[in-house]
Structures are given as structure tokens and as C-alpha cells.
Structure 1
């Protein structure tokens, strides 16, 4: 981390230890949400870095292979937690952290939840279509019709939940969530 130049070895050690504790905490927190510990550590390292870094610099600093580093950077780019930036005088890709943790949280959950909700709603809609067809097929059997109607109601309740979750996702994406739960200033 290039901001430690000019400090004594003792100062560097103390600052590094404090930063490493936070970086480890970031990694563990991200691990709770399905992001690997190493990618969490990568984000933490980049968070404390004073400016953009290349894959080579990250790989060397974190003692990880360039392939692993590339995968981690791609994941963080997909989650909108880092940006690729332009750097004067370099042909290598540069990456820097987006330090807005509120926006990172919003983007992360919006991306993950939207994908899950859309997949679940497709599955539920398909099941509703199949139930409608079965209701026609078994129109004369009151027992099966009652069972299918109950299933239809249960799926309808699930659909209500997923529509509500889409509203929550939209509130995260638009920033309206912060009107309800303001950011701490």
C-alpha cells in the first residue's frame, strides 16, 4: 500500500496490523453473503489502497496468482464494488474501489436478489400454468380440484412475496431505501 512510504518500520507495522484486522473483517462479512473470503480480502486491500492498482500489483501485494486475482477483480466489477479506470501513461488496466458502502450494499443485494426473484417467479408462473391445465384435465374430480386450488393459493401468496421483494429491490436501486432508513452522516 503505497501510502506507507516514508514511515518507520514500526509505524508501518502498527498501521498494517490495524488495516489487516479491518480487511479480515471485510472478508468475513462478504463471506457471509456468498463472496469468497479471498475476494473480500481483495476488496479490503483495495479499499485501503491510495489510488488505482493493476492486476500485477494486486497479485504481488496479496501473494495470489494473477488468474485468481483476475477472477476476484471480475467478481468485484460484476458486483459494482470496483471500477476499471483510465491511468495516464499506462497501458495496463487499473482498478479502484468504490468506497460508498451503502451503494455497494444496494448494488450487491439488488443484483443477487433480482436474479433469484426472476428465476423463482418464472418457476412459480410455470407451475401456475401447469395447475390451470391440470384443473381442466381433472375437472370431474373434486378432491384433485380442491388440492390444485390450495396449491394455486399457496403459489399466489409466494408471488405476492416476490412482487414485494421486487419493490424492495427497486427501492435499493433507486436509493429510496435511504428515505426510509437514512444514511448516518
Structure 2
């Protein structure tokens, strides 16, 4: 965290001003994806560090409680945006960012989308079983059967969407998406 020690006060202040603007932008960008602004700022601060950091160092640097930083670090770690690393001679956990924003994006959305797909497909399967039960119960009611058939078709279309979304998620996880949309060099 003392990468700035060899700079003059003026250089340090100018650099920190520029970094604060970039960190604010990172925070706002992550906020668009549902990550709180403070966790976005935590990631942004870590992104500009040249060395892995401890919870205490980030707490001191950002003026936030160690508990707050710990929660943020856990969130970023769960989203695969930071990694725990080993530091020679250090007994404290050290963290560094995953600097590949393409990978961060892929991991973040893969985690979120896969969870949503599983929940939604499970709900749709339950609904389909309920429709089957209703069809058995009201098989003689042509009007209601027509409504049930309409709903079944809508749910089947939804299931097709979730199958497609799973393939999209797979393409993010295995990197195939970058064949279709290459990273900038």
C-alpha cells in the first residue's frame, strides 16, 4: 500500500485525484449490475493497488469499518472478482483483484444467471405439474382445457428460453463467447 511513498506530495495528490474519479466510475458501473456502490468502490480501490491487501489496510484506506470491508471482500470473493493469495511472512489473509474485467463480467453474470435459471425452471416445472393436475380434474370442461393448453404452451416457450440462456451461460463459462465477440487487444 506504500506504492506512492516515493512520489512528491503534489504527484501523489494529482494521482489520487485521478484514481478517485476512476474508482467512482467503477463503483457506478458495478452499481448498474446490482453490486452496491461501496463494494464497487472497494473493488476500484483494490484494482489500483500494486500489491495484495489485507482487510485492515483496506479499512484504513477507505475509512470504513473492518466488518464492512470484510463483508465487501466476501461478496467480491464469492463473485470471483478478488482472490485470496498467500503472502510470505504474513499471517493475515491477503486479497488481490482479478484484473481481467472480461472474466469478471463472465463470472458475475454466469453466477447470477445460472441461479435465476435454476429457480425459474424449478418454478415452471412445478407449474406444469399443477396444470397436469388441473387437466385431470377438469378434463370435461373444454373452455378451461383451452386456457390450460394456452398456459402450457407459454410455459414451454419459457423453458426453451431458459435452455437457450443455459447455453449462453456455458459460452461465458467456457470462453466461447469470446470467439463470437473477441476481446479488444
User: Which bracket does the TM-score occupy, shorter chain normalised?
Assistant: over 0.9
Aligned-partner SS, 1:56:
helix
Equivalent positions of 1:12-91 (< 5 A) are 12-91=12-91
C-alpha RMSD of the superposition: 0.6
Q: Offset at 1:4?
A: 1.0
Spell out structure 1 runs of 4+ moving beyond 3 A.
none
Q: Secondary structure at the match of 1:90?
A: coil
After superposition, the C-alpha distances for 1:98-151 in whole angstroms (9 at most, x for unaligned) are: 100000000000000000111000000100011011111100000110000000
Deviations, residues 38-88 of structure 1 (Å, cap 9, x unaligned): 000000000000110000000000000000000000000000000000111
Q: Does 1:180 align with 2:184?
A: no
Aligned equivalents of 1:149 and 1:104: distance in 2? 42
Partner of 2:3: 3
Does residue 114 (structure 1) correspond to residue 114 (structure 2)? The answer is yes
The TM-score normalised by the length of structure 2 is 0.99
| Equivalent-residue separation in structure 1 for 2:167 and 2:152 (angstroms) | 23
Matched ranges for 1:122-137 at <5 A: 122-137=122-137
Cα distance in 1 for partners of 2:103, 2:3 equals 25
Q: Which residue of 1 aligns with 2:100?
A: 100
Hey, what's the Cα distance between the residues in 2 that align with 1:134 and 1:69? Answer: 51
Corresponding position of 1:157? 157
**Structure 1 segments unaligned to the other structure (5+ residues):** none
Quick one: distance in 1 between partners of 2:2 and 2:25? 22
Q: Is the 8 A contact 1:23 1:41 kept in 2?
A: yes
CA distance in 2, matches of 1:180, 1:78: 27
Deviation at 1:173, TM superposition (A): 0.4
